Amino acid sequence: MNLPAPIGQADVNDGIHRHHRGMPKGENVESRITIRNEETNDVEAISGVTIEAFKTLEISSHTEQFIVAALRAANALAVSLVAERDGRVVGHVAFSPIAISDGTPGWYGLGPVSVLPEYQRQGIGKALIREGLSRLKSAHARGCCLVGHPGYYTKFGFINTPELVLEGVPPEVFFALSFDGNIPHGSVAFHDAFKADH
């Protein structure tokens, strides 16, 4: 079984940053990043970014680009954002619905998140995640889960919780973030697209 892509490696140790039009000349790299919805003409660039971001990651199954494509084909990308710099897509994050065995609706999975290697550690991954979580909250989602690296996702409010489990995944790398203060009880199932391998 392919597990949800571990998403912390792509851009750990970063700082913020959404682009605001009209910023003065001389702004830093992060301020020149635009976070926006995925568009049809971004599909190839997103695939390329995802391949490059996970290419050298040993814990990756190197199927993340297939997962994103399968989520898109299943119309299961609830939120799909790109980070753009100077007209080039340099990052991407996907959020898709998950199922919880207790029947709690309105929860989503975060991942994969990808940033081109030369743009990592500049706040792009963090900005993509923050904007995606904000959009989920605005759409009245109840929470979000992910598989990721311990210590990174707590800065967004994610916690390890014994109430939610993902079969086959160690609890220290499975995180949840409730938007309404309630944590469901049960097993989590990510979308079948996470099984995509080609």
Please choose, from the candidates 37, 46, 85, the residue with its C-alpha nearest in 3D space to the C-alpha of residue 67.
46
> 24: which residues sit within 8 A by CB, 6+ positions away?
none
Taking CA atoms, 64 is separated from 28, 53, 120, 136, 152, in Å, by: 30, 10, 17, 22, 20
- Per-residue confidence (pLDDT) for residue 11, from 0 to 100: 40
Domain regions of the chain by residue span: 9-22+29-195
- Per-residue confidence (pLDDT) for residue 179, from 0 to 100: 98
Helices (H) and strands (E) in the chain, counts: 3, 9
Q: Is 172 exposed, middle or buried (0-12, 13-18, 19+ CB in 10 A)?
A: exposed
| CATH architecture of the domain with residue range 9-22+29-195 | 3-Layer(aba) Sandwich (3.40)
**What's the predicted TM-score (pTM) here?**
0.84
Place of tokens 């390329």: 48
- Per-residue confidence (pLDDT) for residue 113, from 0 to 100: 96
Distance of CA 160 to the CA centre of its chain: 17
Alpha-carbon gap, residue 133 to 90, rounded angstroms:
19
Taking CA atoms, 141 is separated from 72, 83, 101, in Å, by: 19, 23, 17
- Per-residue confidence (pLDDT) for residue 31, from 0 to 100: 62
- Per-residue confidence (pLDDT) for residue 72, from 0 to 100: 98
- Per-residue confidence (pLDDT) for residue 22, from 0 to 100: 36
The residue length of the chain stands at 198
CB 137: neighbour CB atoms within 10 A? 15
Alpha-carbon gap, residue 158 to 183, rounded angstroms:
11
Alpha-carbon gap, residue 58 to 183, rounded angstroms:
32
- Per-residue confidence (pLDDT) for residue 54, from 0 to 100: 93
Task: Per residue of the chain (198 residues), give pLDDT as tens.
Answer: 344 444 333 443 333 333 333 333 444 445 689 999 999 999 999 999 999 999 988 778 889 999 999 999 999 999 999 999 999 999 999 999 999 999 999 999 999 999 999 999 999 999 999 999 999 999 999 999 999 988 889 999 999 999 999 999 999 999 999 999 999 999 999 999 999 998
